[in-house]
């Protein structure tokens, strides 16, 4: 603030003193602010130009609750006014001019009922069967086929129990308690035995899955630990209950109709990968576990592709472990550029050749720049530090990490396998271990069927119900091919099932 000096002299001395103090304060802070700005400008580094990303315009979704699916059956409840209120004071009847409708979703606990299969018996009282000796004296309809003969199991009950266990991660002991609450007594041991028996019935389908794994250009593989109680059992007599076993996953087949195959192994060695990839000619995408390198080298026709998600994860660990996370975050951002390119090109649904050409054109400069940055960092960082390990891992894997550019079915990472094995990992947190190697093998078969159904857009309950309904009717193994997901219309199968259960 500034006042004319002549006017300032005419003011009261106390007022004049106060105004001068304000002016002195303003001059002080103007000077100090200028010094601070100058110091900041001198000490600041010139920032690198930031990368700009074009974002397409989009339409916002309408706010509010989504309507309930029209396929859900409706029960109409009429709330009408009294008959006396339908007459006007003028003496005339009121006319209905419209209505207001609101919907609420009602829930009834699982609807269960007992199927009583009645088979009348017939006999001749006159000759007691002697008049037609070629046929039995007492005639009765054959026993209806069942997926587990001699049990109370129906396709619906079995599918319900297995979906609860392998999709919703509900252990058998918790399901036992749920059944008890509605007055049905099914022990966890019965459920376990039924799971093993049902897996045995669909074994021909699992064999078809194994044949389909190598039917596509890419096989994704991953593995995760599992606890199996095998001490004293003939399958694994020399192992203790505390020994670590492994669940392996292979995902392959035609890209438009993938197949997922789970397999239990007592070890993390090369036996199973070598078995499932025997004779395979194509790409294997996996993490940096050295077993995959040895298998690819032994097979000759297998081209190993790396996983950028694993490299990014190591930079993330380095970035979050220290307050000075600049280099770790820079590594993440450089890798993120590859994903942005991939996402943008995938969204355009380009022809395969055009997609490959554009991906190489855009990604190769980013990869070259990243390689130069990694090489420079490797000369400065401590190899044993988290950042040093991230840089070292990425450099050691770079010849495999760039191979995703070679085929349109390849992506920068192995997330297809990691996402498929995640349901097993989530379930493991609840049920903790498998009770025996037989139980682990059965779990693998059932996970294979369920996750393959999900990957192909099939309702897992509907798919299991169909398999268990038709399994007793199949007379030749070739008939199982009709139940491969590629031979089923997912939308038609799901709608048919939903219509049946409603």
Average pLDDT over residues 303-319: 92
Instruction: Write down the pLDDT at residue 443.
Output: 93
Q: With 70 as the cut, is the pLDDT of residue 303 above it?
A: yes
Tens of pLDDT, residue by residue over 27-41, are 655 555 444 444 444
- In angstroms, rounded to a whole number, what is the distance separating the alpha carbons of residues 329 and 341? 19
- From residue 358, how far is each of 363, 369, 401, 408, 434 by CA, in Å? 8, 18, 18, 11, 48
Tens of pLDDT, residue by residue over 390-409, are 999 999 999 999 999 999 99
Residues in CB range of 59: below 8 A, 6 or more apart: none
Average pLDDT over residues 99-125: 87
111 pLDDT band, cuts 50/70/90, is: confident
Instruction: Write down the pLDDT at residue 310.
Output: 92
The domain ranges of the chain are 155-207+438-501, 211-419
- From residue 221, how far is each of 214, 259, 284, 316, 348 by CA, in Å? 12, 12, 7, 23, 28
**Residue of 441, 431, 176, 404 whose CA lies nearest to 306:** 404
| Residue ranges with strand state E in 232-317 | 244-252, 259-265, 282-285, 302-305
Q: Is 156 exposed, middle or buried (0-12, 13-18, 19+ CB in 10 A)?
A: middle
Average pLDDT over residues 244-259: 92
217 touches 406 (CB < 8 A):
no
pLDDT > 70: what percent of the chain?
84
Tens of pLDDT, residue by residue over 430-463, are 877 788 889 899 999 999 999 999 999 999 999 9
How far out from the chain centre does Cα 314 lie?
Answer: 22
- In angstroms, rounded to a whole number, what is the distance separating the alpha carbons of residues 22 and 26? 6
Which range (87-96, 238-247, 293-302) has the least confidence?
238-247
Tens of pLDDT, residue by residue over 213-225, are 999 999 999 999 9
Residues in CB range of 332: below 8 A, 6 or more apart: 312, 315, 316, 319
Instruction: Write down the pLDDT at residue 71.
Output: 79
Looking at per-residue pLDDT, the higher value among 61 and 74 belongs to 74
386's tokens: 């988290």
358 touches 345 (CB < 8 A):
yes
pLDDT > 90: what percent of the chain?
55
Q: Which pTM was predicted?
A: 0.78
**Residue of 261, 258, 262 whose CA lies nearest to 455:** 258
Average pLDDT over residues 72-91: 90
């Amino acid at each position: 603030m500034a006042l004319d000096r002549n006017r300032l002299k005419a003011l009261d001395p106390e007022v004049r003193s106060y105004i001068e103090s304000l002016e002195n304060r303003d001059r002080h802070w103007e000077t100090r602010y200028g010094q601070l700005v100058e110091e900041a400008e001198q000490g600041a580094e010139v920032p690198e130009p930031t990368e700009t990303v074009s974002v397409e315009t989009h339409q916002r979704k309408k706010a509010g609750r989504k309507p309930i699916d029209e396929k859900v059956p409706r029960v109409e409840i009429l709330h009408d006014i009294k008959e006396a209120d339908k007459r006007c004071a003028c003496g005339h009847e009121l006319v209905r001019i419209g209505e207001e409708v609101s919907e609420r979703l009602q829930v009834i606990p699982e609807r269960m009922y007992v199927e009583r299969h009645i088979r009348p018996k017939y006999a001749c009282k006159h000759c007691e069967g002697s008049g037609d000796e070629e046929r039995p004296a007492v005639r009765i309809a054959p026993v209806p086929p069942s997926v587990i003969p001699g049990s109370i199991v129906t396709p619906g009950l079995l599918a319900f129990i297995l979906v609860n266990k392998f999709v919703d991660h509900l252990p058998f002991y918790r399901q036992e308690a749920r059944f008890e609450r509605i007055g049905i007594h099914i022990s966890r041991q019965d459920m376990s035995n039924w799971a093993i028996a049902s897996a045995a019935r669909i074994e021909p389908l699992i064999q078809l899955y194994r044949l389909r794994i190598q039917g596509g250009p890419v096989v994704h593989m991953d593995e995760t630990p599992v606890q199996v109680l095998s001490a004293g059992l003939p399958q694994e007599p020399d192992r203790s209950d505390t020994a670590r076993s492994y669940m392996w996953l292979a995902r392959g087949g035609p890209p438009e109709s993938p197949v997922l195959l789970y397999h239990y192994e007592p070890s993390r060695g090369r036996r199973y990968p070598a078995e499932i990839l025997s004779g395979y000619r194509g790409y294997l995408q996996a993490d940096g576990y050295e077993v995959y390198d040895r298998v690819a080298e032994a097979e000759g026709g297998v081209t190993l592709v790396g996983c950028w998600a694993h490299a990014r994860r190591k930079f993330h660990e380095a970035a979050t472990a220290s307050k000075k996370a600049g280099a770790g975050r820079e590594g993440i951002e450089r890798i993120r550029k590859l994903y942005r390119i991939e996402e943008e090109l995938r969204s355009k649904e380009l022809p395969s050749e055009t997609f490959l050409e554009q991906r190489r054109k855009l990604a190769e400069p980013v990869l070259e720049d990243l390689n130069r940055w990694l090489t420079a960092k490797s000369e400065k960082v401590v190899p044993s530090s988290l950042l040093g390990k991230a840089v070292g891992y990425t450099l050691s894997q770079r010849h495999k990490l760039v191979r995703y550019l070679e085929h349109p079915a390849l992506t920068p990472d192995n997330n297809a396998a990691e996402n498929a094995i995640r349901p097993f990992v989530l379930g493991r947190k609840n049920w903790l271990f498998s009770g025996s190697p037989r139980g682990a093998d059965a779990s693998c078969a059932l996970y294979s069927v369920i996750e393959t159904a999900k990957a192909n857009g099939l309702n897992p309950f509907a798919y299991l119900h169909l398999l268990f309904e038709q399994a007793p009717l199949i007379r030749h193994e070739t008939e199982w091919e009709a139940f491969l997901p590629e031979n089923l219309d997912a939308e038609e199968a799901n709608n048919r099932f939903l219509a049946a259960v409603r």
